[in-house]
């Protein structure tokens, strides 16, 4: 039989734990924010609670689901066998214990030994992940733009992890010749832009047109976005280390242009889509993109020196994570996890008997309410940050929490689904 890709993916049991960890982490992260409004609203940058929340979200929620989804999707996108299933399983445990240990270490007074030990575990996970990704993609000639973005993203992931470990060691034995806060900013931007955004652009350049049924797309805007974002990150990193403010302005300018090129690509895909009516999984995916406009505006205002009650650089980073990345992930969960579980349970019976469809594995009404509570929640949450309104903060985070609970219910329903006969 012609192998279209899913037969080359690792077993469902080795990728599903990444999705579960992600869904649980999202809820824990939101609960932490709800119970620590002061840490978020007042001293947003460098405090133990904020560092804990950030790492629950970026490692437990985002990185976990990216790892799991990539191990499933790389064989499909690049028509290659997954390099190693054993590595896939090892990476999960390293990520799980590394994330839990790191977050505990942050929460309890940023314990230097804990940060270094668990940071090292995470670095090992990253090294194994990079080996698995690079060896899987190999010399595939499929989807060249996606390949470029994904391969680059894992390099940024490595740099992010190394910078993180240096910061952890610096807690134990201060050795950095410059202010560690500057390296923290580099660490954050490398991770969020270099790792998440590059990876998301690479994967979405294949998946969004595929789900919306769009063919023959011009890939040049994505190459422009690639060069612009890459230059932006490199210049931004240099500007922080050697303190040249002009370089930072250029870096922001290039970054904004890069985002605009990417958004334009997505806009073209959306306009050309043959699939006019979108289900709520896709609606949730698509509603993530307008939040990038808020990120762009927020970063322009920040670099222009606008003063607001809330630190604008923290604001655009929060919008990027909670508005764009999280919304996109919560939507794409419904386009990956039900299919992985469905293939595991029903593929042996396909054609031999009537089977459920992937959409039957979760409750669509719950998804609908999750969509409404999440979208209204993040809009009110962002408004509360800018206006510094505690009541609005609680309404926004409350709605996000309802969305996270509904999401977890659906995820568990999918994961524990038992075969049903029609």
Partner 1 sequence: MTSQNIENISEMGIFQSLKEVIDPELYVNIVDLGLVYGVILTKDPLSVKIELTLTSKGCPMGDAIIQDVEQTLMRLYPGLTVNVELVWEPSWSMDMVTDEGHAAFNGF
* Residue ranges binding partner 1 (CB under 8 A): 1-7, 73, 76-77, 79, 142-143, 206, 209-211, 213, 215-216, 274-277, 279, 335, 339, 342-343, 347, 350-352, 357-359
Tokens for 238, please give them: 């240099």
Residue 353 pairs in a beta bridge with 350
For residues 315 and 339, which CB has a smaller minimum distance to partner 1 in the complex?
339
As measured in angstroms, the least distance from the Cβ of 205 to partner 1 is: 11
350 in helix, strand or coil? Answer: strand
Smallest gap, in angstroms, from Cβ of residue 351 to partner 1?
Answer: 2
Cα distance between residue 330 and residue 241, in whole Å: 35
What is the residue-wise DSSP string for 308-330? Answer: -SS-HHHHHHHIIIIIIIHHHHH
CB of 348 to partner 1, least distance (A): 9
Q: Quick one: 48 or 85, whose CB is closer to partner 1?
A: 85
Please identify, using beta-carbon distances, which residue of 41 and 210 lies nearer to partner 1. Answer: 210
Least CB distance to partner 1 at residue 2 (A): 5
Residue 7 vs 420, nearer CB to partner 1:
7
Give min distance, CB of 281 to partner 1, in A.
10
Measured from the CB atom, the residue of 9 and 233 that comes closer to partner 1 is: 9
Question: Are the CB atoms for 369 and 102 separated by under 8 Å?
Answer: no
Q: Which is nearer to partner 1, 250 or 272 (CB)?
A: 272
Q: How many CB atoms lie within 10 A of CB 143?
A: 19
Q: Rounded to whole angstroms, what are the CA distances from 9 to 2, 82, 211?
A: 15, 6, 20
| Phi, psi of 307, rounded to the nearest 5 degrees | -105, 125
Contact 319, 384 (CB under 8 A): no
Write down the least CB distance from residue 303 to partner 1, Å. Answer: 38
Please, is 73 exposed, middle or buried when counting C-beta atoms within 10 Å of its C-beta (0-12, 13-18, 19+)?
buried
């Amino acid at each position: 039989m012609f192998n279209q890709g899913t037969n080359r993916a690792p077993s469902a049991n080795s990728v599903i734990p990444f999705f579960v960890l992600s869904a649980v982490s999202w809820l824990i992260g939101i609960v932490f924010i709800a119970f620590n409004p002061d840490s978020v609203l007042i001293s947003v940058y460098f405090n133990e609670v904020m560092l804990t929340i950030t790492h629950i979200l970026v490692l437990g929620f985002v990185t976990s689901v990216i790892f799991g989804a990539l191990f499933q999707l790389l064989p499909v996108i690049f028509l290659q066998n997954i390099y190693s299933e054993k590595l896939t399983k090892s990476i999960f445990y390293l990520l799980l214990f590394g994330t839990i240990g790191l977050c505990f270490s942050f929460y309890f007074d940023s314990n230097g030994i804990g940060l270094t030990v668990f940071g090292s575990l995470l670095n090992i996970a990253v090294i194994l992940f990079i080996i698995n990704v690079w060896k899987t993609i190999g010399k595939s000639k499929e989807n060249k733009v996606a390949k470029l973005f994904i391969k680059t993203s894992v390099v940024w992931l490595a740099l992010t992890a190394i910078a993180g470990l240096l910061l952890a060691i610096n807690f134990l034995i201060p050795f950095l010749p410059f202010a560690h806060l500057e390296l923290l900013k580099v660490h954050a931007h490398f991770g969020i832009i270099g790792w998440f955004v590059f990876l998301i652009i690479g994967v979405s350049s294949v998946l969004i047109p595929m789900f919306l049924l769009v063919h023959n797309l011009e890939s040049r805007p994505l190459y422009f976005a690639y060069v612009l974002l890459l230059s932006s990150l490199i210049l931004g990193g240099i500007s922080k280390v050697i303190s040249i403010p002009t370089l930072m302005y250029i870096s922001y300018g290039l970054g904004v242009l890069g985002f605009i090129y990417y958004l334009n690509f997505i806009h073209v895909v959306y306009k050309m889509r043959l699939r006019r009516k979108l289900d709520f999984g896709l609606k949730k995916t698509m509603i993530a993109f307008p939040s990038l406009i808020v990120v762009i505006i927020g970063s322009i205002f920040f670099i222009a020196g606008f003063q607001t009650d809330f630190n604008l650089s923290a604001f655009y980073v929060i919008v990027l994570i909670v508005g764009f990345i999280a919304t996109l992930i919560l939507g794409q969960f419904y386009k990956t996890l039900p299919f992985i579980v469905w293939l595991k349970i029903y593929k042996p019976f396909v054609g031999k008997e009537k089977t459920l469809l992937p959409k039957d594995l979760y409750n669509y009404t719950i998804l609908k309410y999750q969509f409404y509570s999440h979208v209204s929640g993040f809009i009110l949450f962002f408004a509360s940050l800018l206006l510094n309104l505690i009541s609005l903060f609680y309404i926004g985070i409350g709605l996000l929490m309802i969305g996270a609970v509904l999401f977890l219910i659906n995820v568990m329903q999918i994961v524990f689904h038992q075969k049903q006969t029609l």
